[in-house]
Amino acid sequence: MRYRFGCAVAVMIVILPLMACVKRPPTLACTISPQQITQDEKATAHANVTIPKRTKITSYDWSSSGGKIAGSGDTATFDATGVAPGKYKVTIKVTDNHKHIVPCESEVTVNKKYLPPTVSCQVSSASIMVGESATVRATGNSPDGSPLTYSWAINGQAQAASGSTLTFGSEGRQPGRYSIGVTVNTGHFIASCASNVTVTERPIPPPAIQCLTPTVDIESGGTAPLSVRATAERATLTVTWNATAGMVTGAGSAATFNGGGLSAGAYTVTATVENGRGSRASCTMTVNVSQKIDVPGFAAGQWKANNVAKAILDNVSVQMKNDPRLHASVAGYVDGSQREARVKGLALKRAQTVQEYLVGKGVDASRLTATDGGTSKVGDSKTEAGRKENRRAEIHLSVH
């Protein structure tokens, strides 16, 4: 028993000096601040070292699983520039003069860096009329790739549209200037732009008028109905009539032309519509007036014109030369007596006498025709006075 106890004491005496010779490694704790940063930001890593007696730290070795780590001693900087979002480990290894290597890890979270969006507005037309529409287009961009949501407003009043375009309708709106704005939102930042659209009243178009009786033929002293179709949008129309000669009466879309006292010729009738807003439109109609002129003064059985007939024909020649549109159709007549019946072609000869006289006064022969009118019925062929009336020619002047 004594021997065993003595041996145990001896072993302990030997071990205690050996334990005193063994050097303990340093203890290490590490931190990083802040623990969450965004891309392109930095964090500070720090190592807290507890060093045993007679021990010195010979090196600090910093490393990271991503990004950049730079530092010396117990402090380093973690730089997240250019790294993807995620978690990264920052490691520090401390080495002492006894070749002890002590590691420590800390973790930093790199969050995505969100950037403000941009947006620009374009409008298809900055000025529209009531009833028209304009399209406003927003071109948004998110530099960090975040999804964009669009919110629209017209003069500050929110709209239901949620896409990148808005159709601005002016139907039912008052004329004026409207501000059409849009806001783009990434959930982190917003941006906005606006376009202005001016709404103007639709101009009142000028009235329109169409002559429904463009050309009318009447005898001198006769009448002719005239009509037009007139329209005026958003206005009360008024139609007025006037003629270069003769008389035209009527109101609205219908009128009557009276050729009383007119010589043969073409006369212009103008119908004008006004809308009460300073606008008007007109159309014209032509009234061709024909005229019958009696040429008496032929002796029984003769076709020579006397002075009475020549005076009438002188006036006709002047009238025809003043109006080159006039043509004369001359018909010669006999009185129905046996005496005149014995003269072959007497009625035609009287018409030709008139024709030749007018040609001699300067009227182009192409404007004249001569025909046999036969027996006149103007006077009573049983009396001398009636037969005198029937010995005549008749000129029918008309516009060609």
Does residue 26 share a domain with residue 101? yes
Burial class (CB in 10 A: 0-12, 13-18, 19+), 239: buried
Does residue 327 share a domain with residue 256? no
Does residue 216 share a domain with residue 270? yes
Question: Does residue 55 register a pLDDT over 60?
Answer: yes
C-alpha–C-alpha distance, residues 232 and 223, integer Å: 29
Q: How far is CA 124 from CA 162, 174, 178, 379, in A?
A: 19, 20, 14, 85
- Give domain status of residue 34, yes or no: yes
CATH (domain of 104): 2.60.40.10
Amino acid 29: pLDDT: 93
pLDDT in tens, 239-292: 999 999 999 998 899 999 999 999 999 999 999 999 988 899 999 999 999 999
pLDDT in tens, 166-221: 999 999 899 999 999 999 999 999 999 999 999 998 888 899 999 999 999 999 99
Question: Does residue 308 register a pLDDT over 60?
Answer: yes
Domain boundary among 245, 270, 290: 290
Mean pLDDT of 351-368: 97
- Give domain status of residue 4, yes or no: no
Does residue 350 share a domain with residue 324? yes
Does residue 192 share a domain with residue 213? no
Q: How confident is the model at residue 233 (pLDDT cuts 50, 70, 90)?
A: confident
Identify whether the C-beta of residue 394 lies closer than 8 Å to the C-beta of residue 373. Answer: yes
Question: Does residue 9 register a pLDDT over 80?
Answer: no
Question: Does residue 338 register a pLDDT over 90?
Answer: yes
| pLDDT > 90: percent of the chain | 84
Identify whether the C-beta of residue 228 lies closer than 8 Å to the C-beta of residue 271. Answer: yes
Amino acid 245: pLDDT: 93
- Give domain status of residue 13, yes or no: no
pTM surpassing 0.75? no
Domain boundary among 169, 200, 231: 200
Does residue 178 share a domain with residue 151? yes
C-alpha–C-alpha distance, residues 316 and 371, integer Å: 18
Amino acid 228: pLDDT: 97
Amino acid 235: pLDDT: 85
- Give domain status of residue 258, yes or no: yes
Identify whether the C-beta of residue 355 lies closer than 8 Å to the C-beta of residue 365. Answer: yes
- Give domain status of residue 59, yes or no: yes
Amino acid 16: pLDDT: 45
Domain boundary among 200, 231, 262: 200
Does residue 94 share a domain with residue 129? no
- Give domain status of residue 309, yes or no: yes
Mean pLDDT of 76-100: 93
Question: Does residue 21 register a pLDDT over 70?
Answer: no
Amino acid 10: pLDDT: 43
Does residue 190 share a domain with residue 216? no
- Give domain status of residue 331, yes or no: yes
Does residue 105 share a domain with residue 27? yes
Q: How confident is the model at residue 377 (pLDDT cuts 50, 70, 90)?
A: very high
Q: Which domain holds residue 101?
A: 19-111
Amino acid 343: pLDDT: 95
Does residue 84 share a domain with residue 68? yes
Hey, which residues does 122 pair with through a beta bridge?
137
Q: How far is CA 248 from CA 21, 94, 130, 154, 251, in A?
A: 142, 121, 42, 58, 10
Amino acid 11: pLDDT: 42
The total of structural domains in the chain comes to 4
- Give domain status of residue 235, yes or no: yes
Residue 360 parent element (H or E)? helix 346-360
Question: Does residue 5 register a pLDDT over 50?
Answer: no
When the pLDDT of each residue in the chain is averaged and rounded to a whole number, the result is: 91
Question: Does residue 119 register a pLDDT over 70?
Answer: yes
Amino acid 15: pLDDT: 44
Does residue 382 share a domain with residue 312? yes
Mean pLDDT of 377-399: 95
Amino acid 49: pLDDT: 94
Does residue 214 share a domain with residue 195? no
